[in-house]
Amino acid sequence: MTTTLPVLSPEVEAVLAFDERGLVPAVAQQFDTGEVLMLAWMNRDSIAETLATGQVCYWSRSRQKLWRKGESSGQVQRLVELRVDCDGDMLLLKVDQTGVCCHTGRRSCLFRAWRDGKWVEIQRVLISPGTLYGHSE
Amino acid sequence: MTTTLPVLSPEVEAVLAFDERGLVPAVAQQFDTGEVLMLAWMNRDSIAETLATGQVCYWSRSRQKLWRKGESSGQVQRLVELRVDCDGDMLLLKVDQTGVCCHTGRRSCLFRAWRDGKWVEIQRVLISPGTLYGHSE
């Protein structure tokens, strides 16, 4: 199957400062509660696809390919608004997260807090990873 | 003057995955409103200093030195809580931001939103950069 990828508009790209790998860090935040969910990376193609489809797509550095968040787990992120910082080298994605964001089955990837000299887990697992990725029911 | 830098405790470091430069991205979020303020980078020394002093200190990649946020502008960030993500390669700093975070004089660095095909400034300048950095009154 031949797929034509969306192209990033020059107006969006004009303010972006990609790093030497062609990437910018992107922070996903639940649009209504303000909870920070995760940080991942985006390249031109993933930003273009996200804006075109309204579903958040990152760039996987480990797999070197587009990473359509929730593609295997169903835990997608709908884009509510894209924001960019003063230097153009960081994106903020206001999203509506379906279910859980973290591959551990927690709502957010930021589930450990440094309290009283130790890391404390401050969120519980809502969906088991086995269920998330279809290894068990 | 000789200054002894705080050392990062092994318990903190145990969960951190620094990149090849010895850095991790850190997102600052206003602790009570949930507003995302900025993203910068931290190394071992800056994390250690932040935890020791309670005042946020980043690592400046351009200047290759510790960057004590607000040192010249007075717009400091008091650390309320440090959080880490599932992979240990991103930090979330819950902070109390004095005044404005952005060098442009806006509360947050994320002051541009992509709306209806163009970048829109959604925050106004609260303090002029000249006032912030002492070039004018």
Report how far residue B100's alpha carbon sits from residue A97's, in angstroms, rounded to the nearest whole number. 29
Q: Is the distance from CB of A56 to CB of A42 less than 8 angstroms?
A: no
The shortest C-alpha distance from B34 to chain A (Å) reads: 5
**Mean pLDDT for the stretch of residues A113-121:** 97
Q: What is the ipTM of this complex?
A: 0.94
B-chain CB neighbours of A103 within 8 Å are: 86
Higher pLDDT, A72 or A35: A35
Kindly report the average pLDDT of chain A as a whole number: 95
Asked if A119's CB is within 8 angstroms of B85's CB, the reply is no
Residue of A75, A69, A17 whose CA lies nearest to A43: A17
Asked if B39's CB is within 8 angstroms of A85's CB, the reply is yes
The residues, any chain, with a CB within 8 Å of residue B63's CB and separated by 6 or more, are none
Pairing between β-strand A77-84 and β-strand B112-115 as defined by DSSP bridges:
antiparallel
Q: What are the extents of the domains in chain A?
A: 10-102
Asked if B117's CB is within 8 angstroms of A11's CB, the reply is yes
pTM: 0.94
Q: pLDDT digit of tens for each residue in chain B (137 aa)?
A: 666 789 999 999 999 999 999 999 999 999 999 999 999 999 999 999 999 999 999 999 999 999 999 999 999 999 999 999 999 999 999 999 999 999 999 999 999 999 999 999 999 999 999 999 886 54
- Which architecture does CATH list for A10-102? Roll (3.10)
Helix (H) or strand (E) holding B67: strand B65-68
Residue of B83, B109, B96, B65 whose CA lies nearest to A110: B83
Q: Chains A and B: how many Cβ contacts under 8 Å?
A: 102
pLDDT > 60? residue A136: no
Scan for tokens 């910082």, then name that residue.
Answer: A85
